[in-house]
Amino acid sequence: MKTCALMVALAFALTTQAAVPQADKLPAQLKPVPAQAQAAIWASQLLAHRHYKATPLDDAMSEKIFDRYFKALDGEKLFFLQSDIDQFDGVRNKFDDAIKNENISLPFIIYSAYQQRFSERIGYARELLKGKFEFTADERYQIDREKAAWPKTDEEARDLWRKRVKNDWLRLKLAGKDEKAIREMLDKRYENYETRARKVDGEDVFQTFMNAYATAIEPHTNYLGPRSADNFDIAMRLSLEGIGAVLQSRDEYTVIREIVPGSPAAGSGKLKVGDRIVGVAQADAPQFTDVLGWRIDEVVQQIRGAKDSVVRLDILPADAGPDGKHVTVSLVRKKINMEEQSAKKSIIEVPDGAVKRRVGVISLPTFYLDFEARRRGDKDYKSATRDVARILAELKRAKVDNVLIDLRNNGGGSLTEAIELTGLFIDKGPVVMQRAADGKVEVESDTIPGLAWDVPVGVLINRGSASASEIFAAALQDYGRGLIIGESSFGKGTVQTLVDFDRNAQGEKPRYGELKMTIAQFFRINGGTTQLRGVTPDVKLPVTSDIDNFGESSYDNALPYTVIKAAAYAPAGDLKELISPLQKRHESRIAKDRDFQYLKEDIAEIRKLRKENSVSLNEAVRRKERDDQEARAALREARQAKAGDAAKAKVLAAAKAKRMRQDDGLQADERNLQAELAAEKAAKDAKDIMLHEAANILSDVVGMVKTDTRMASRLMPYMPAKTVGN
């Protein structure tokens, strides 16, 4: 369609309701910039020609973009009316023309309409707080409205918000807050919603729009704006150059939430958790830049900088009032390693009669790799495989009987790391196959002979284990080198590459962002794929995830499951003989384990709430539900406390902390920071039931093969002279 036709259609849509702003009247921070129009053109060319599921940018794609963009803005159907959607229906098939003509005002106009509706709804919510609520009527509040319809009338939308505010009020009332405190707290909460909405800028709007386009093709293609691209890069290399403080927004302040040990922030001795950063200045700047009310990512950008450079902070101490005395802190930026996301080890002792077996645990949150440091030959570059290899050597010296790799909630990362990590557990051979859009299949192999760990390992997975985690788990399962424990994994069997648009631009500071694009599908060496179905565990633990709404199968446009010819590989062992007896031992053990019974009760309660998808707004009903829940929790805590040991005490503390946070009616940034951190620590210190049961299962493996050498030789023919644990 020609440019003039697009503008005519757009003008027609915009005249249907006077409330919708025109492109030339958009706020300055919500107008597109030329770099974004150029980035959209580049992205459209790549998605139409180089994507694994190459899809032309045409009217059909435009309609998909339209639907996904509105869903991204208002997925819970709380702000727009159906008439708003209908009003823009005339441009449903015009997004393709907008991108091709480098006129991307349309998504910004739609966003501005959303922003207006947002302001109206929050304004109405705040107006409701001036009145009172009665909690005797028999009505319910719908929790999840993703599958609901948009309200047809303004009256219907107001009723939705009346119930939402009423539910917020009731939660605080049940937590013991009086009417004055509730009114003030909720008014502040809704004001904060508006404040955060006003901080949205053009980069946010463009990224939301481009992701509506990218994910309309398939779920794992994304556009990353400049800020998101920077953060993605940091997450992959697990390092940045800064001061070593974790920040968060609280009201209008940027608050220090955590200080990284060994960092400049820690070494200064002048900063503490809860301190508020109200100004930032670079070394050569005579004055501070006031950052009160700024977005957190904008404050972070001011504080980050080149290694060995100086940044000055204007600090309002945690224990000072709003008018308290400020403190100036000067810090020299250094390279900060994000050790919280690095591989870590622990040892679990498992009693088996008179014997205590030691199971080494390696927790790996992500498959990280500092690509740039590796490329330039830095001998100390950060790598998941290198860290795991070091930990395996340490566990060997500690004489553990077996090793468990914990990949729960590991969403993936570097494909290279998945292959090299697999290489620590196989001698050499194929690890994964990739099929490109043209059908060509390449086999990715471990070419380095030798094993870092030469007995079968356990791999613990859950629904959050995806991509590189699935490659690793599937390869160890196919080689007979690993026993997979847990629940079925995510089911992401696609490969993405990053295209940095800044490399196409001229000048030092062009900021076009990046496109993370699916270019291939990976397959197990047995010819199957983890796409859609994930990795099925050998020994199944109770399912805790919402599999209907989380995982590849929950996407409406996920690539299908398919099979190709298997790679040429020779299994190193065969663990199938272990599976049935291990599953029986597991089920027998958890049937007697009170912690697991509590877990099953919790899972059943969560599933019940998900199915109901609503809560009563009748105070008497809610009080009874809360009292019943607290009675069950108190009985459980009393039983746990009766045991009297340290582990049970930690479980008890975590249970109490969790219950207090669930029942207080507050959002995370409304709670006392120190109390919130203490509750998080209690939860982290609590016994990890799934992890300990996985260790029990590996202890069973050790016991079974130690007492049956013939079984050991069948399971591990590559180790004829050895048995597990020796």
Active site residues: 467, 478, 492
Q: What angle do CA 219, 224, 225 make, to 5 degrees?
A: 145
Residue 367: DSSP 8-state: B
Whole-angstrom distance, CA of residue 633 vs CA of residue 503: 57
- Alpha-carbon radius of gyration of the chain: 28
Handedness of CA 157, 158, 162, 168 (dihedral sign): positive
| Spatial separation of the C-alpha atoms in residues 437 and 392, rounded to whole Å | 38
Instruction: Identify the bridge partners of residue 337 per DSSP, sorted by sequence position.
Output: 239
Task: State the Cα–Cα distance between residues 273 and 259, nearest whole angstrom.
Answer: 7
Nearest to 300 by CA among 204, 374, 231, 239: 231
Q: Could you tell me if 321 and 311 are in contact, meaning their C-beta atoms sit under 8 angstroms apart?
A: no
Q: Report which residue type is found at 60.
A: A
Helix, strand, or coil (residue 11): helix
Instruction: Show the DSSP H helices in 398-532 as ranges.
Output: 415-423, 468-479
DSSP for 104-155, written as a single string = -HHHHHHHHHHHHHHHHHHHHHHHHTTS-----S--EEES--TTSPPPSSHH
- 367-377 core/surface letters (b: 16 or more CB in 10 A; e: else): bbbbbebbeee
Under DSSP, is residue 306 helix (H, G, I), strand (E, B) or coil?
coil
Kindly state the DSSP code that residue 325 receives in the 8-state scheme: P
Outline where DSSP puts E strands in 525-644.
539-540, 614-616
What's the full length of the chain, in residues?
Answer: 726
Q: How many CA atoms lie within 13 A of 145 on its CB side?
A: 18
Q: What angle do CA 557, 563, 568 make, to 5 degrees?
A: 140
* Spatial distance between the Cα atoms of 337 and 373, rounded to a whole number of angstroms: 13
Amino acid, single-letter form, for residue 177 = K
Structure tokens at 384: 């998941």
**Nearest Cα residue to 145 out of 161, 130, 129:** 161
Token reading at 172: 């605080």
Question: Residue 85: is it exposed, middle or buried by C-beta count within 10 angstroms (0-12/13-18/19+)?
Answer: middle
Strand ranges (DSSP E) for 327-481? Answer: 327-332, 334-337, 344-352, 355-363, 402-406, 429-436, 441-446, 457-461
Token pair listed for 350: 């498992």
Distance between CA 525 and CA 628 in Å, rounded? 52
Q: Are 510 and 487 in contact (CB under 8 A)?
A: no
User: Using CA atoms, how far apart are residues 206 and 224, in angstroms rounded to an integer?
Assistant: 10
- Distance between CA atoms of 372 and 498, rounded to whole angstroms? 14
If you search the block for the tokens 């939430």, which residue do you land on? Answer: 257
Task: Output the 3-class SS for 468-491.
Answer: HHHHHHHHHHHHCCEEEEECCCCC
Nearest to 533 by CA among 505, 563, 513, 507: 563
